[in-house]
Structure 1
Amino acid sequence: MVHLWLRSESRGNEQRAGLTPEGTRHLRAGGFRITVEDSPHRILPTADYAAAGAEIAAPGSWSEAPADAIVFGLKELPPGGALVHRHIMFGHAFKGQPAGQALLRRFRDGGGRLLDLEYLTDDSGRRLAAFGHWAGFAGAAVSLKAWAAQRRGTICGPVAAWPTQEQLKAELRAELDATGAPRPRALVIGALGRVGGGALELLTAMGVQATRWDMAETAGGGPFPQVLAHELFINCILAGPQTPVFVAPNAVEPGRLLTVIGDVACDPSSDFNPVQVYDRVTDWAQPVTRVAEAPPLDVMAIDNLPSLLPRESTLDYAAQLLPVLGELDRGGPGPWARAEATFAAHLARLD
């Protein structure tokens, strides 16, 4: 019997979950044992998980879970020592990130394993479940809020989760209209992917005209002066060794139209970062960092964007992931075996 332990998220503003009560009921019917930690912040009530057959545990009690339990969460673990369990999560540990290296050492020290959701793929290498659509949607929204703030002569203030996408759109449309300015011209790189699709959906709903680029347009290598000829640039590419530089450090110089970068991919500490005008993520309290003046250039680089629409993103992602979770009890080759092999390869290279 697979014992899946859904932990409460320790990160502030994180209301999402990778498993719904309906998914719990489905896995229980398939023979899984499910433990769900209580959480006052999760967008879905704990009582609904209990009604679906889950055992309820105290928040943060996963460290005391049975050794064979698979601990399932989304964002980073709280600080601590050695990790002895198998963990399903977004580890952000395989591209040289300093925090990721520390996380891998915790697994090495405890003998646990990381099954990274970012590397849960099918035979062709495509991710089997992703929050990308809602990351792009919310990232484009906050980027437009930053542009509207510039029109008011200010910098984008704090953001908070929206109950629904319709409320987000109504609020943002009113904010843009209030500037009295024509909508900005935008460039979306990664337009054919999940993230780009979400960004384009939001931009279209707001009446923003967008130039759409993907691999064909960036194959020649960057940096690209065309980026600087748009007022708004949304980066939706998950960077890797072959990703060209989209925005070079000297892009902050005067003479550009570009005033807002929405780096939805948001990986400034990676060696592969294609947006080289900033070096740290932003957050809900300070959604943008200003990297230049005259004209201003603000970078939006929030690394948990789908949390701004917690209900839509939870229901969508959990539905994508549920069939894959159902394969946890199967041996042999498959997405979980590939994820474990990826972890083992990076652990072997650890200093």
Structure 2
Amino acid sequence: MGIRREDKNRWERRSPLIPQHVRELKQEHSIETVVQPSPIRSFSDDEYLDAGATVQDDLSPCPIIFAIKEIPSSFFEQKKTYAFFSHTIKGQQYNMPMLKKLMELECQLIEYERIVDSQGKRLIAFGKYAGMAGMIDTFWALGKKLSREGIDNPFTLVEQTVQYESLEAAKMGIGRAAQAIERDGIAALLSPLIFGIAGYGNVSKGAQEILDLLPIHTITP
């Protein structure tokens, strides 16, 4: 099987299988893995090599290929199996050409969102870290927007999530914004500044964990 190099976003460091999984598949099930090299993946090429994988660009020998984000239509090969988040199950128009190409080539798509248990509950879903990253990026984007409008604000102290080396570093960045709010308050033009969170799932919990780093008052419905 193959692991495709992620290239939709320059900050995409995730991998569908970690080196430990590759090692277990080889030792326990005699499954060989070919990994496309990547300079930004969370796990280095050497870690995959040490786990027993082959690292090369060519994935043509692999009958099944795993990825995270959408795959360019030009990558697909006849009658192969691809597993990734295709973002097509809701009929998303922007990915219909990709789905059409898969069908034309008689490929099989394993859509992570449709891997469910007997109760229909998703087994592969976003965790709290998605909520954390989303909340941090929300602060960062808000800071940029307000600055362009000439409004001084504490969120300029927050970096984009990808710029932080660790969760601890990110929380320290949010902490600096929190200290600025406690010291200087919020511009009258922005007050009251309200953030609304809907839902109680993993993503919501992650977002709330970051939001709770600020001096806030929580209002429940």
- 3-state secondary structure, aligned to 1:88: strand
Give the number of equivalent residue pairs: 204
Match for residue 71 of structure 2? 77
Q: 1:38 to 1:82 in 2, by over 3 A?
A: closer
| Alignment of structure 1 residues 61-210 onto 2, 5 Å | 61-62=58-59, 64-66=60-62, 69-80=63-74, 83-84=77-78, 85-149=80-144, 150=146, 153=151, 159=160, 161=162, 162-179=164-181, 180-181=184-185, 184-190=193-199, 192-210=200-218
Determine the C-alpha separation between the residues in 1 that align with 2:219 and 2:34: 46
- 3-state secondary structure, aligned to 2:197: strand
Q: 1:110 to 1:9 in 2, by over 3 A?
A: same
Determine the C-alpha separation between the residues in 1 that align with 2:98 and 2:220: 36
Distance apart, 1:174 and its partner CA: 0.9
Q: 1:164 to 1:82 in 2, by over 3 A?
A: closer
Determine the C-alpha separation between the residues in 2 that align with 1:81 and 1:73: 12
Distance apart, 1:100 and its partner CA: 1.9
Contact 1:7 1:37 in 2 (8 A): yes
Distance apart, 1:146 and its partner CA: 3.8
Match for residue 8 of structure 1? 5
More strand by share: 1
- 3-state secondary structure, aligned to 2:7: coil
Determine the C-alpha separation between the residues in 1 that align with 2:107 and 2:203: 31
Determine the C-alpha separation between the residues in 2 that align with 1:201 and 1:28: 38
Distance apart, 1:186 and its partner CA: 2.9
Q: 1:38 to 1:29 in 2, by over 3 A?
A: same
Q: 1:210 to 1:101 in 2, by over 3 A?
A: farther
Moved more, 129-138 or 103-112: 129-138
Alignment-mate amino acid for residue 10 of structure 1: D
User: Unaligned regions of 5+ residues in structure 2, if any?
Assistant: 187-191
Determine the C-alpha separation between the residues in 1 that align with 2:135 and 2:121: 23
Match for residue 41 of structure 2? 42
Moved more, 23-32 or 195-204: 23-32
Distance apart, 1:148 and its partner CA: 4.4
More helix by share: 2
Normalised by the length of structure 1, the TM-score is 0.53
Determine the C-alpha separation between the residues in 2 that align with 1:207 and 1:25: 46
Contact 2:114 2:122 in 1 (8 A): yes
Contact 1:184 1:209 in 2 (8 A): no
Contact 2:128 2:206 in 1 (8 A): yes
Match for residue 52 of structure 1? 51
**What do you get for the CA RMSD once the two structures are aligned?**
2.6
Determine the C-alpha separation between the residues in 2 that align with 1:39 and 1:81: 17
Distance apart, 1:204 and its partner CA: 1.8
- 3-state secondary structure, aligned to 1:87: strand
- 3-state secondary structure, aligned to 1:71: strand
Distance apart, 1:154 and its partner CA: 6.7
Distance apart, 1:184 and its partner CA: 4.1
| Alignment of structure 1 residues 288-303 onto 2, 5 Å | none
